[in-house]
């Protein structure tokens, strides 16, 4: 699966520009799986300021902000995740995204 910014690094492994990958997506909140690791997914998406509804997963979900800011609501409590921060939502915990979240987000499903 070759992405918008795919190239080979010095040792021949795939290289992705995460901001370019997110910008190339057809719409916000539509993720793209860049790699799969032992049953988990490494996904990227673009946040555009619109909220995202409450959801619950049967797996932990790592949310890594590459650029911008993610305004989460975890079990009803507001949490701000800034550029360079990683927030891990435990399996079974309800979470949503409040309005105002913008930038590039990486999701690690484990």
In sequence order, the 6+-apart residues with CB closer than 8 A to the CB of 89 are 57, 60, 61, 62, 63, 72, 74, 95
In this predicted model, what pLDDT tens digit does every residue of 62-83 receive, in sequence order? 999 999 999 999 988 999 999 9
DSSP 47: E
What span, in angstroms and rounded, lies between the C-alpha atoms of 70 and 81? 5
**Token digits of residue 105:** 């987000």
Contact 18, 66 (CB under 8 A): yes
Q: What is the structure's pLDDT at 13?
A: 62
Helical H segments across 1-110, by residue range = 18-23
Entry pTM: 0.83
In CATH, which superfamily holds the domain spanning 18-109?
A: Jelly Rolls (2.60.120.10)
Residue 53, φ and ψ in degrees, nearest 5: -65, 165
Of the pLDDT bands very low, low, confident and very high (cuts 50, 70, 90), residue 110 is: confident
């Amino acid at each position: 699966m070759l992405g918008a910014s795919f190239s080979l690094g010095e040792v021949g492994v795939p290289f992705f520009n995460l901001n370019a990958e997110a910008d190339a997506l057809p719409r916000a909140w539509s993720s793209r799986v860049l790699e799969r690791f032992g049953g988990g997914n490494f996904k990227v998406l673009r946040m555009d300021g619109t909220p995202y509804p409450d959801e619950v997963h049967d797996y932990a979900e790592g949310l890594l902000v590459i650029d911008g800011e993610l305004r989460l609501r975890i079990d009803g409590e507001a949490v701000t995740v800034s550029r360079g921060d990683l927030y891990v939502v435990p399996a079974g915990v309800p979470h949503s995204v409040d309005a105002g979240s913008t930038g590039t987000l990486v999701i690690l499903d484990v």
